[in-house]
Amino acid sequence: MPSKERMLITGGNALEGEVRVSGGKNTAVAVIPATLLSDEPCTIENLPDIEDVRALVDILRSLGAKVTYVPGEFMTVDPRPVEMQEVGYRLCQRLRASYYLLGALLGRSGRAEVYYPGGCEIGSRPVDQHLKGFRALGAQTEEVGGRITVEAKELKGGDVFFDMVTVGATINVMLAAAKAQGTTIIYNAAKEPHIVDLANFLNSMGAKVKGAGTDVIRIRGQQYLHGANYAVIPDQIETGTLMIAAAATHGDVVIHGCIPTHMEALTAKLLEMGVRVSDSDDAIRVRSMGGHRAVNIKTQVYPGFPTDLQQPMSALLTTARGTSIVQETIFEQRFKHLDEIRRMGARVRVADRMAIIEGVPQLYGAPVTATDLRAGAALIVAGLMAKGVTEIYEPKYIDRGYDHIEEKLRSLGATISREREE
Ligand code: UD1
């Protein structure tokens, strides 16, 4: 059902000042289910205050875990009372990462029953590689009535060869393998920063994970994992969105608490466009005087240009001088935001997985609709650049993954608010 909320942005203000980035969404949604593998309570810090995290709290509680969650501070999960192995349909629909309950429960108790996940509609997003990985560990898998059941009498380490690089399947197999008997080797593994962060969390509980961050990961399963205190890494995509917003408004913003080396693909493109980017240990400064040049983008697995930043970046390119070609190689339906930004005056042609963007001097505010999380971020970028008022419908998608984004942008000088329609 469409929600009655809308976000209102009056564009044209240059963003200026300093802002702190929140903890990583994609790390949080892997680390929280991973607490189920522990035989003792775990405390996680630096979690972003977002809808996906709230949904996972509800899932863990539904399984019987004792969860204390103070948003913005910490989450403690005591998984010892958990006896359930099934996650209900409605809970699974609330986020894509509900599929990590498959790996986490399989590792914990040898069985999991989870519905096909909800989350953003950006392509078909199958789970065949996840299931193939579980089967390599000796599990039986079954898909009936929209429900996936995985079960293993004895979960045993094995060799897993992925047909493509997949973040979700790499994480899911790491979760199950942490408690399997013997060693699992994942070939063609994803190398994203949150894979490394999950490995660090598992190792802090006593797991033996080596090679995370390369394309071969070795996991020696452990019978007992102890409790741990862990802080998740900063959000790479929120950092990138703020960098793009700073450039888009011809602003001058320092983003604190980020990891500049995670941002190299974006930084390189912004520099190519004529934006000034500098960094120190844990901060990035983005300055722009405008006059951006068009650039070509091709999304790739890490360390290539992230698909999650393709959408906000292509919003920025709608006003760059010249023609930009954006190729989306990871998900097949990730250009819906461009249909919306066209209403604001952008000149864009989409052909299959390629968008050809001819830069225009100015976007104009219009009513637009967010169709997924990063499409919402792209519309925010477009709204900040546009002349006049942009109304963004369905901001609930943005709440899945951005922690207090309106407050953060307002603190930098943006005119942005939210209204409930009567
Ligand atoms: C994760 C991220 C998402 C990001 C994406 C790519 C989380 C919660 N989400 O999504 O923000 O955009 O990585 O960096 O971390 N595929 C299959 N079969 C499978 C699994 C994947 O064909 O079993 C395909 C997908 O359709 C897609 C590609 O592999 O074309 C990559 O998907 P994957 O890396 O798994 O993305 P997600 O884990 O869904």
pLDDT digits over 167-223, tens only? 999 999 999 999 999 999 999 999 999 999 999 999 999 999 999 999 999 999 999
pLDDT value at 2 more than 70: no
Contacts of 63 (CB under 8 A, 6+ apart): 36, 82, 84, 85, 87, 105
Give domain limits for the chain. Answer: 4-21+234-421, 25-231
Q: Please give the number of the atom of ligand 1 that sits closest to the Cα of 194.
A: 15
129 close to ligand 1 (CB < 6 Angstrom): yes
Residue of the CA atom closest to atom 39 of ligand 1: 168
Active site residues: 120
Which pLDDT value is given to residue 123?
A: 65
Residue 195 near ligand 1, beta carbon < 6 Å = no
What pLDDT is attached to residue 333?
A: 83
In the predicted structure, residue 3 carries a pLDDT above the cut 80: no
pLDDT at 420 over 90: no
Q: Does the C-beta of 240 come closer than 6 Å to ligand 1?
A: no
- Ligand 1 pocket member 169 (CB < 6 A): yes
- Cα 95 to ligand 1 centroid, rounded to whole Å: 13
Residue 1: per-residue pLDDT: 62
Please state the rounded mean pLDDT for residues 350-364: 96
- Determine the atom of ligand 1 nearest the C-alpha atom of 29: 8
At residue 119, the pLDDT reads 66
Judged on CB neighbours under 10 Å (0-12, 13-18, 19+), 84 is middle
Q: Could you tell me if the CB of 374 is within 6 A of ligand 1?
A: no
Nearest-atom index, ligand 1, CA of 192: 14
Q: What is the pLDDT of residues 219-256, one digit of tens each?
A: 999 999 999 999 999 999 999 999 999 999 999 999 99
Task: Report residue 113: phi and psi, to 5°.
Answer: -130, 115
How far does residue 126's CA lie from ligand 1's centre (Å)? 9
pLDDT for the residue 329 = 95
User: How sure is the predictor about 34, in pLDDT bands with cuts at 50, 70 and 90?
Assistant: very high
CB of 164 shorter than 6 A to ligand 1 = yes
> 253 C-alpha vs ligand 1 centroid, how far in Å?
31
pTM, rounded to two decimals:
0.96
pLDDT at 126: 87
Residue whose CA lies nearest to ligand 1 atom number 37: 168
Report residue 328 CA to chain centroid gap.
17
CA of 125 to the centre of ligand 1 (A): 7
Would the CATH topology of 4-21+234-421 be identical to that of 25-231? Answer: yes
**What is the average pLDDT across 108-116?**
95
Number of neighbouring beta carbons within 10 Å of residue 382? 32
Ligand 1, atom 25: closest residue by C-alpha: 125
Residues whose CB falls within 8 Å of the CB of residue 238, separated by 6 or more in sequence, listed in order: 21, 22, 24, 25, 48, 401, 402, 403, 405
Count CB neighbours of 8 within 10 A.
17
Q: Which residues pair with 229 in a beta bridge?
A: 43
- Say if residue 332's pLDDT is above 90: no
Question: Among 3.65.10.10, 3.30.1490.100, 3.90.280.10, 3.10.130.10, what is the CATH number of 4-21+234-421?
Answer: 3.65.10.10
Q: Look at the domain 25-231 and name its fold.
A: UDP-n-acetylglucosamine1-carboxyvinyl-transferase; Chain (3.65.10)
Distance 190 CA to ligand 1 centre (A): 10
* Mean pLDDT over each residue of the chain, to the nearest integer: 96
**118 band by pLDDT with thresholds 50, 70 and 90:** confident
Angle at 276 between CA 274 and CA 282, to 5 degrees: 145
User: Does residue 331's CB lie within 6 angstroms of at least one atom of ligand 1?
Assistant: yes
Q: Is 381 helix (H, G, I), strand (E, B) or coil?
A: helix
